[in-house]
Structure 1
Amino acid sequence: MTQAGTAPAATESRAKPIVWSIAGNDSGGGAGLAADLRAAEAFGVHLCPVVAAVTAQNSQAVTHIDAVAPDVLDAQLAALAADLPPAALKTGLLGGRAQIEVVARWVDRLRERSPVALVVDPVLRASSGADFAAADTVAAYRELLLPRATLVTPNRREAERLAGVDEGSADAPELARRLQALGATSVCITGGDDGAGQGDWALDWIDTAHASGWLALPRHATPHTHGTGCTFATSAASALALGFVPADALVLAKMATTQALRDGYAAGQGAGPVHARAGFGTQADLMPVLSWDENSDFDSCQRLPGARQSPISLENELGLYAIVDSAERVRQVVAAGVRVVQLRIKTPDATLRAAVAQALAACNAAGATLVVNDHWRLAAELRAPAVHLGQEDLQALGSEGRAELAASGLKLGVSSHSLWELARARGLRPWYAACGPVWPTLTKAMPWVPQGMDNLAWWVHMAGVPVVAIGGILAPEQLTEAARSGASGVCVVRGLGDDPARTVPAWQAALQAGRAAPPLPVPALPHPSLGVQ
């Protein structure tokens, strides 16, 4: 059986996604291409190290920089394009405008053949203070690379320089908007290097097509930080090459870089290198939190352990979780023995209040828990115990609405379909996070790729809160497999049939069979659940 943190043997025979890193060579082995190679290995992708600049440096200083001649850089890229075309390309230290022009031309050529993600790490200055970029180089970044960038990952000072603003004159969200106005599709303003953040949290501001907010993990205090930015950018490029959208790629990059900081080590008299390595994807305490807005106050967000919820305890057991659309169906399923039932009425009318009240009365009489879908204010008014909300609904509430919901005392279930949605749900410390769709579902149209048993097991291991499996569970055999993941609850909708008194016993037996079976293995990384657009 595959153990947590090890890749399945079957993947070893598959071709690895290819990432090009066009960057500088660090003679001290800490940053640049050396760090990029370590990060790519941690993700299981193949990295082609293209030398754009040669540096003479050690752990204390950069003493010399020599940009590779443009024709030499072009020759390296031409050789790779003929045999090892990339799924993603990452740039680091490029040397000057002429080198940037070569890179831009090759990005366009490659994209004529197939999609290629471009991650731009604008290395403009060394942590030791050495300036890597003259004014014409910065202008070339703005004119040639940002308009082509899938993702740009500057620190705050680099973002200010690219945006052309004075130091401290714009916050991270505003800097991200300015860089997007210059053409970058997605932006991450990294904050770990300058102590940006709140309290003990290291915060990066992300702004992508799918999500924006502060990506947060507890800060790891260490003197060994050399290569942090390179590791982050290459990790993001590796995740993009594996098929993750930028928001999810940044979650994985945050995890991998935090682990690399933890495993940094001394090499020389100055700051030692960070050390990215495989296995970060199953370290549950590396799963970050994502804010819902620009509020960066994470002091009230207790640290979530992310421990695998197995074996299931009485405190977190939801069991067979029925989802129905009427008070009468609630009465039927609780009479059949279901103890958690969600009332989902998507098109409310004048009878909604009566339906919720009747469903609540039926659950109270049977000792069951009613979960009201969407209508949380009505649920609170009628003293229902729990509510389930989707992430779009929670986002629409705004900060005041979410605070009101938290103060209501309702237990909260939250949908999550992707890594960034799981990171965002964690910040609410919900009763449970739903992982779905586990299998293809016709209940409603969704852009999501089915999670499957591998992602479900990963969710359970990493979420730090109970997980509920939902989506496409039509046969008891499917429920048995889902229960093997350690999920606290497994949702059944259409599979309840016309007569729950007849079908529920089979579902309950399937649940118990799954609980008694060997647990599912946890994959080293989840698979993407949203197709790249």
Structure 2
Amino acid sequence: MTSSTKETLPLGGRDLFWPPADELTEAAERIRARLGDWPASHVAWRICLAAPDDANGGDLIVIADAQQHLEQIARWQVQGAGVIEAAAGRATLHLGGERYALEGHLAEDWIPALAAFLDCGFAPHDALVLAMAWRDGDETTAAVDAWPCDLTRFPRVSGLLAAPAQAFAPCPPRLGLYPVLPTAEWVERVVSYGVKTVQLRRKTAEPGVLVQEIARCVAAGHQHDAQVFINDHWQAALAAGAYGVHLGQEDLHEADLASLAAAGMRLGLSTHGYYEILTALHFRPSYIALGAVFPTTTKVMPTAPQGLTRLARYVRLLGDVVPLVAIGGIDQQVLPQVLATGVGSAAVVRAVTEAADPSLAVSAMRQGFTP
């Protein structure tokens, strides 16, 4: 959908703002019309520009100073509402007991832009990131659509731990097929097929067994000139001299990132949306994983599936900045659609470990990647 076919996009015939604000609604509809086709949000959200007497579960209440509303903020959150404290180039979302703090630009139209991105189905913290990347008039200047894709316009996450002084060692810009495997035996087997990037993701093991498993994986990587990442167990990976580690956002507070970077290890970080992408970029990782693209049964995901449309937007934003890995529910059938987004790597799990012939499955999937 472009401006040449439609100048506004009605947003569900409901009140987007409280108190009702026709001018903001018209701006939100005008912006939304230039953001492309997205499934409508299932959340009955409402942006409140004044404090409501009773908050609804989908309310996002915009205030200028949280210190003046501390008791109300606690009550609003209990009622399921979120609170956005916005002033002087800063916006902090309080939602569900979490705090999402951003610093950057607040355009005059940031509130209608927020409404438009919420209507595209993005969670409030990700919609807020996109609203802060918005610039007044973007909906009139973009050639195809007005989706934010200039990283220099995006806000930064404030309050993060300091990144290591030394950036993490680089890895190839396109990692190709990236099997995530449950045991050292699987790692040894798959690298023998010629796969150059694998990950050991072993969630449960006795410490002694885990050390042995990681040592076997590191040895297999050396033998077959393959890049072996270890999921989560960064201390053991560091001691074994592994090529790299893969961590989740929750691990950033626990891992000794400075020691990992100083040792020359590569770091991959999981992300599930724009806010976590900005968090990951702060630490200058070797690659960023984007997921889950599709529903997956291999682990419990904190967010709904991202889908191919979001993946393509992430690639447009980050493809020249950091290597990217698509992950989550990817198999041989959907791999061509995933690679059509331009992503340089796709992580697979069951497509290998549950294949009737893993060697043939790996060979077929590797053919989909360009050299």
TM-score by length of 2: 0.80
Does the CA-based 8 Å contact 1:374-1:388 persist in structure 2?
A: yes
Provide the rounded CA distance (Å) in 2 between the counterparts of 1:149 and 1:189. 17
Residue 473 of structure 1 corresponds to: 330
Query: 1:216 deviation in Å?
Result: 3.2
Does the CA-based 8 Å contact 1:17-1:242 persist in structure 2?
A: no
Amino acid at match of 1:117: W
Of 152, 159, 166, which aligns to 1:285? Answer: 152
Of 76, 98, 102, which aligns to 1:183? Answer: 76
Amino acid at match of 1:385: Y
Query: 1:342 deviation in Å?
Result: 0.2
Of 260, 277, 297, which aligns to 1:442? Answer: 297
Residue 110 of structure 2 corresponds to residue 214 of structure 1: no
Query: 1:181 deviation in Å?
Result: 1.6
Does the CA-based 8 Å contact 1:121-1:154 persist in structure 2?
A: yes
Query: 1:38 deviation in Å?
Result: 2.7
Aligned residues: CA RMSD: 3.9
Does the CA-based 8 Å contact 2:196-2:226 persist in structure 1?
A: yes
Amino acid at match of 1:17: G
- After superposition, where does 1:135-150 map in structure 2 within 5 Å? 141=51, 144=53, 150=59
Residue 52 of structure 2 corresponds to residue 116 of structure 1: no
Does the CA-based 8 Å contact 1:327-1:356 persist in structure 2?
A: yes
1:461-512: CA deviation from partner (whole Å, max 9, x where unpaired) = 123422111122222x422222222212111212223654333221111224
Residue 186 of structure 2 corresponds to residue 329 of structure 1: yes
Amino acid at match of 2:267: L
Residue 197 of structure 2 corresponds to: 340
Instruction: Describe the SS at the equivalent of 1:446.
Output: coil
1:136-163: CA deviation from partner (whole Å, max 9, x where unpaired) = xxxxx37x1557772122234xx44x42
Instruction: Describe the SS at the equivalent of 1:412.
Output: strand
Identical aligned residues as a percent: 29
Q: How many residues align?
A: 354
After superposition, the Cα gap between the structure-2 partners of 1:254 and 1:178, relative to the gap in structure 1 and judged at 3 Å, is farther
Provide the rounded CA distance (Å) in 2 between the counterparts of 1:120 and 1:380. 49
Query: 1:409 deviation in Å?
Result: 3.7
Does the CA-based 8 Å contact 2:19-2:49 persist in structure 1?
A: no
Residue 37 of structure 2 corresponds to: none
Gaps of 5+ in 2: 35-39
Residue 509 of structure 1 corresponds to: 367
Provide the rounded CA distance (Å) in 2 between the counterparts of 1:380 and 1:296. 21
Moved more, 401-410 or 231-240: 401-410
Of 18, 27, 31, which aligns to 1:38? Answer: 27
Provide the rounded CA distance (Å) in 1 between the counterparts of 2:230 and 2:9. 45
Residue 250 of structure 1 corresponds to: 128
Residue 303 of structure 2 corresponds to residue 451 of structure 1: no
Amino acid at match of 2:118: L
After superposition, the Cα gap between the structure-2 partners of 1:280 and 1:429, relative to the gap in structure 1 and judged at 3 Å, is same
Report which of the two structures shows the higher radius of gyration computed on alpha carbons: 1
1:376-429: CA deviation from partner (whole Å, max 9, x where unpaired) = 11111111121111222335x2xx845555555421111112232223222222
Query: 1:346 deviation in Å?
Result: 0.6
TM-score by length of 1: 0.57
Instruction: Describe the SS at the equivalent of 2:76.
Output: coil
Residue 115 of structure 2 corresponds to: 237
